[in-house]
Structure 1
């Protein structure tokens, strides 16, 4: 859970990541994100496929070099030039759990070698005996048996492979982990087990997570705060409880209206919010507010000016002209 001291661990300022396709076309995958992640919390990042959330996670970890903007980890600039030693230290403190447990594990390596790779790189074991002992402890930590160490990835189920991926991330004792849709490739019956494991590990090892997902119900279960992304931009950030109880941005309301309710009576009677068309291309995003082409409330000002991402109540941030004092009257006509 989030620490009461609310000490910032990661600070993201105007983060941009563009991919140049050719002389004329550039994909604006991440286009100016601003948010903080506090030590000990889980920050959930949600949005439709293609909104840029996975790219944001990889850019925060420097797996992609940022096009513009800044990421601070414990006050240190992530994307400034670093020596090999500085990069090594930095990479030990920040790790990633990947989406696909089938593609992220080397099929030619045993589980021991996969998990111990970080130990070897960072010199965290002094002997072969200590190396095996640490791997065995990690296997047990994630709910696997010591005997699994000599096997290969193809011998495991998807849920077991993801546990191996989690053990690999934990091996170097990180402080911050980006979990990039870690449950989306798993059976529904296994998803809750993996999420509960992540929560248990967070409590035991004082970890901080950026949890990327498109399943809003699961994000609600694990996250202290939630950020909603749309077409490379942050639409809204609030505590998990506040966001689900009182969403402000029209896009957040659309997403939440599509989440199934367990009660059949309530599910039949509730009103779903419909939106027009598909998400525009990040190669040619709309002018002004990027959601305006699908927003049921959009008016002229939305096309002319990009909304400011601002705090409209305590710990509740939104990028929408409806909540800007300069344009509020435009939406009340």
Structure 2
């Protein structure tokens, strides 16, 4: 089956997230609810995009799925097995091999004291994927070529590369252990616009070649549409809308999604002049003290009294198009 032909809904779930919560204590009585009761499924072979403003909980969600943070509550199932909870060393190694992460900042995510070869080969060494030094070197050189770098780059250090090249090294490092699932945490936000498309196209090619599944976290909605099969929209620790990429961009249902999409510039100046921008009033509320009812109500142009009293129910407004809003 070609990807996007029928959508990902006939595929088997790879990761299931059920009522996930991640809270941080920020004072004696203050708790920051970074991720608050989030549920979604990631299907094998798809790319799920996760978008929203800075501080909405996207990266914390990704890091909690990866076990970089312990979940406060809820479940994360990878291939039907619990991600959190007690695991022995063998189980942890197996999970860490199947699930990898590409980080936002290519400048700080690479060890400046190690050569590119040693950075890429770190996972190969930990998981014993090369029997000899020659096999290790062969794997590293093949990975460099796979991500569009030269073999001669192997013995250089990170400071000798541009941001785009460093991110390619980060991708090669993630691929080294032959993972099934990659969490990409804003992998292009620190890069020049001209380089962003190259990195996204590289990720798309690698996905086809290696049958990878992605969670692609970003705040650039136009780039997310380019790579994602489905897109989830986060606001203040919760997901407010989730749909196929085309459905979400063609017919956004939640007022917050509509506002985000209205901010994307259109290349045609005539259309751009006539467009109605939805300007949100007020600042993002604090995750330590979110509004009652619907969290978006303090900035929503369509808010009613019901929005302050009741939390909207997560519902399927159209086939495979989910939204949490009292308007539906």
TM-score normalized with structure 1 length: 0.96
Other-structure match for 1:39:
44
3-state DSSP class of the match of 1:322?
A: coil
3-state DSSP class of the match of 1:91?
A: helix
Q: CA deviation at 1:4?
A: 6.5
Q: CA deviation at 1:80?
A: 2.2
From 70, 85, 88, give the equivalent of 1:65.
70
The superposition leaves residues 12-48 of structure 1 with CA deviations (integer Å, 9 ceiling, x where unpaired) of 1111100001211111000011111110000000000
- Correspondence 1:216 to 2:212: no
From 307, 311, 316, give the equivalent of 1:311.
316
Q: CA deviation at 1:5?
A: 3.0
Other-structure match for 1:201:
206
Deviates more, 1:21-30 or 1:130-139: 21-30
Tell me the C-alpha RMSD between the 2 structures.
Answer: 0.8
Q: CA deviation at 1:309?
A: 1.1
Other-structure match for 1:124:
129
From 124, 136, 145, give the equivalent of 1:140.
145
Other-structure match for 1:236:
241
3-state DSSP class of the match of 2:40?
A: strand
Question: Is the CA contact 2:18–2:76 (under 8 Å) kept in the aligned structure 1?
Answer: yes
Question: Is the CA contact 2:51–2:220 (under 8 Å) kept in the aligned structure 1?
Answer: yes
The superposition leaves residues 99-138 of structure 1 with CA deviations (integer Å, 9 ceiling, x where unpaired) of 0000000000000000000000001010111001000000
The superposition leaves residues 186-245 of structure 1 with CA deviations (integer Å, 9 ceiling, x where unpaired) of 000100000000000000000000000000000000000000000000010000000000
Deviates more, 1:155-164 or 1:269-278: 269-278
Question: Is the CA contact 2:51–2:234 (under 8 Å) kept in the aligned structure 1?
Answer: yes
- Correspondence 1:178 to 2:187: no
- Correspondence 1:149 to 2:172: no
The superposition leaves residues 238-293 of structure 1 with CA deviations (integer Å, 9 ceiling, x where unpaired) of 00000000100000000000000011100000111121111001111111111000
TM-score normalized with structure 2 length: 0.97
Structure 1 residue runs of 5 or longer lacking an equivalent are: 324-333
From 240, 251, 258, give the equivalent of 1:253.
258
Question: Is the CA contact 2:13–2:41 (under 8 Å) kept in the aligned structure 1?
Answer: yes
- Structure 2: distance between partners of 1:233 and 1:246: 20
- Structure 1: distance between partners of 2:11 and 2:294: 31
Change in Cα spacing, 1:300 to 1:67, as seen in structure 2 (3 Å) is same
- Correspondence 1:274 to 2:279: yes
From 40, 56, 61, give the equivalent of 2:61.
56
Other-structure match for 1:166:
171
Q: CA deviation at 1:305?
A: 1.3
From 227, 231, 234, give the equivalent of 1:226.
231
- Structure 2: distance between partners of 1:127 and 1:70: 40
